[in-house]
C-alpha cells in the first residue's frame, strides 16, 4: 500500500511495503523538530537454537561495533556529531535498533542503522571484547536478585525451551560464538517480511521509503523459520542465597497478545497489583506492612503469556505474604467490583495516551502492531476494547487463569524463607521443583 494512509489511523500515518517485504511506516508530527527512527525485527531470543543461547543479544551488541565502512568509533561520532543518540534492545520475540535525531538528519540515521544490519564487520577483536562485556552483564544480573528472579521464573514456566531461557545467555554459550555463528543467525532470522522501519516526528514518508529501498535492498525476502509452540509447565525454582530479602515471583500461564481476553487479563493485573489503590498494595503493604515493593504483571507472547506477582520481603514474613497473595489471586475473580474495574481501565488509558505523546513511543507502537498483528491498530480501537471490559469479563479471565494450569514459583533468599514460600502457594496447585 505505497504512500497510503493506514485505514482508521491518524492522517499523518503512512505505510509502504517494499519489494523485499520490509514495511516502512511513518507518523508525521509537524510540531516536532526531531524524529525517532528505528528498525524492528520480529526475531529475538525465542528464535535461538539450543546452541545459540544469547546470540540474539550478542548480535544486537555487535551491530554497533563496526561495519565495512564505519568503525565502532565512527558510528558513535557520526550520530553524536548531529546531536543524536543510538540504542538497541533485545526481547523474547523482537529486536530493535533506534536513533533519535533532528528531522534533517533522518537520512543519516537510517544510513547508519541500515549499515549495521546489512554490512556488520564482526571483527574478531571487537567480538572478543563484546563477549567479555556481556559476560560482565550476566554477572551483574547474577548479583541482582530482583532481576535474576524473573529469569528463574520464566525458565521454570517454560523449561527446556528458548522462550524460557534468559535473553543474555550464559558465559559458556556467549564465549562459544564466532563470526560465522553470528552471520548464520543474522541471515536466517533478519528477513524482510519480519522487519519494520518506523519513524515518528519530523519525518517525510516518501523520502524515508526511497532511502529504505536503496539501503535495505540486500535484506532477504523469505520468512524466517517458524517458532515451535510454547509448552507451559510450571513448578518451583528455589534458590538459597544470603540476601537481605526473600524475592518471590508467583504466577500462572497467561495468554497471547492476539487472544480476545487479553485486555480483560490486563485489567485483572491492574486491579490485583497495578498501583497504590490495587488490592495487593493495600492489603500486603498498607494493611500488613509485609513489603516495600509488590506488583502484578502480564507478559504476552505470540502464543502464550505469563501472569504473575512480584514481592520482596523479610524471611520471617514470607509465609504470611505468600498466603495473602494467594488469597487475593483466588478472591479477585469472585469479588472484583465495578469501581475497581473502572479505575484500572482509566489507569490503562492514561498510560496508553500519555506514552503516545512521545515520538519514540509512537514509532515503537507502530512497529510492534505490524509485527504482532499484521496491521496498524488505531488508538481509538484499543481504547474501545479497554472500555468494553466489564466485571463479568474480568471474572471470566480470573477463572481461566486460575483453572487452566499449575502455578510457577521462583524464590531467591535465605534458606529459612524457601519452604514457607512453597507451602503458602499450595492452594494454587502442586509445585514440582526443578
Residues acting as catalytic residues: 60
Q: What is the DSSP letter of 224?
A: P
Which residues contact residue 64 at a Cβ distance below 8 angstroms, ignoring those fewer than 6 apart? 72, 75, 76, 86, 88, 116
Angle (CA) 401 236 141, round 5°:
105
Buried b (16+ CB within 10 A) or exposed e, 181-205: bbeebbebbbbbbbbbbbbbbbbbb
Taking the C-alpha atoms of residue 386 and residue 301, their distance in angstroms, rounded to an integer, is 19
User: According to DSSP H, which parts of 55-105 are helical?
Assistant: 55-62, 72-81
Tell me how far apart the alpha carbons of residues 311 and 90 are, in angstroms, rounded to a whole number. 25
**Nearest to 85, CA basis, from 67, 66, 112:** 112
Residue with cell 490486563: 266
Q: Are 295 and 274 in contact (CB under 8 A)?
A: yes
Which cell numbers in the block locate residue 381? 480501537
Please give the full DSSP string across 366-430, using - where no structure is assigned.
HHHHHHHHSS---HHHHHHHHHT--HHHHHHHHHHHHHHS--EEEEEE-GGGHHHHHHHTGGG--
Rounded distance between C-alpha atoms, residue 259 and residue 303, angstroms: 9
Residue of 257, 254, 246 whose CA lies nearest to 272: 254
Which ranges constitute the DSSP H helices of 48-144?
55-62, 72-81, 106-118, 124-142
DSSP states along 328-347 = HHHHHHHH--HHHHHHHHHH
How many Cα atoms occupy the beta-carbon half-sphere of 422 within 13 Å? 18
Which residues are bridge partners to 34 per DSSP? 102
**Closest alpha carbon to 45 in 60, 30, 64:** 60
Amino acid at each position: 500500500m505505497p504512500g497510503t494512509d493506514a485505514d482508521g489511523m491518524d492522517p499523518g500515518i503512512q505505510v509502504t511495503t517494499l519489494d523485499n517485504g520490509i514495511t516502512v511506516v511513518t507518523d508525521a508530527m509537524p510540531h516536532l523538530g526531531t524524529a525517532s527512527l528505528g528498525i524492528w525485527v520480529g526475531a529475538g531470543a525465542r528464535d535461538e537454537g539450543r546452541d545459540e543461547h544469547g546470540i540474539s543479544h550478542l548480535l544486537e551488541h555487535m551491530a554497533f561495533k563496526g561495519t565495512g565502512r564505519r568503525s565502532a568509533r565512527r558510528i558513535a561520532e557520526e550520530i553524536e556529531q548531529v546531536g543524536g543518540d543510538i540504542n538497541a534492545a533485545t526481547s523474547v520475540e523482537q529486536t530493535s535498533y533506534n536513533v533519535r535525531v533532528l528531522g534533517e538528519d533522518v537520512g543519516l540515521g537510517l544510513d547508519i542503522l541500515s549499515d549495521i544490519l546489512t554490512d556488520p564487520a564482526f571483527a574478531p577483536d571487537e567480538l572478543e571484547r563484546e563477549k567479555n562485556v556481556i559476560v560482565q552483564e550476566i554477572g551483574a544480573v547474577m548479583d541482582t536478585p530482583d532481576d535474576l528472579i524473573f529469569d528463574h521464573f520464566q525458565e521454570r514456566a517454560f523449561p527446556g525451551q528458548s522462550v524460557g531461557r534468559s535473553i543474555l545467555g550464559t558465559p559458556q554459550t556467549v564465549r562459544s560464538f564466532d563470526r560465522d555463528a553470528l552471520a548464520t543467525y543474522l541471515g536466517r532470522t533478519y528477513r524482510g517480511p519480519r522487519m519494520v522501519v518506523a519513524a515518528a516526528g519530523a519525518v517525510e514518508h516518501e523520502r524515508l521509503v526511497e532511502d529504505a529501498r536503496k539501503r535495505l535492498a540486500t535484506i532477504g525476502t523469505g520468512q524466517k523459520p517458524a517458532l515451535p509452540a510454547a509448552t507451559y509447565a510450571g513448578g518451583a525454582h528455589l534458590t538459597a542465597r544470603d540476601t537481605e530479602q526473600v524475592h518471590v515471583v508467583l504466577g500462572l500461564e497467561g495468554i497471547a497478545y492476539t487472544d480476545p481476553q487479553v485486555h480483560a487479563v490486563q485489567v485483572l493485573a491492574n486491579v490485583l497489583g497495578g498501583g497504590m489503590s490495587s488490592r495487593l498494595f493495600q492489603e500486603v503493604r498498607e494493611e500488613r506492612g509485609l513489603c516495600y515493593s509488590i506488583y502484578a504483571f502480564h507478559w504476552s507472547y505470540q502464543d502464550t503469556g505469563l501472569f504473575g506477582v512480584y514481592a520482596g520481603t523479610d524471611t520471617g514474613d514470607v509465609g504470611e505474604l505468600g498466603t495473602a497473595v494467594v488469597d487475593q489471586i483466588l478472591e479477585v475473580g469472585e469479588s472484583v467490583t465495578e469501581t475497581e474495574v473502572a479505575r484500572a481501565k482509566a489507569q490503562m488509558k492514561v498510560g496508553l495516551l500519555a506514552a503516545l505523546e512521545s515520538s519514540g513511543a509512537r514509532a515503537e507502537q507502530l512497529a510492534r502492531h505490524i509485527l504482532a498483528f499484521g496491521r496498524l491498530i488505531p488508538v481509538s480501537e484499543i481504547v474501545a476494547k479497554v472500555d468494553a471490559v466489564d466485571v463479568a469479563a474480568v471474572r471470566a479471565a480470573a477463572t481461566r487463569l486460575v483453572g487452566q494450569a499449575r502455578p510457577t514459583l521462583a524464590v531467591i533468599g535465605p534458606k529459612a524463607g524457601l519452604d514457607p514460600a512453597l507451602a503458602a502457594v499450595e492452594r494454587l496447585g502442586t509445585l514440582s521443583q526443578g
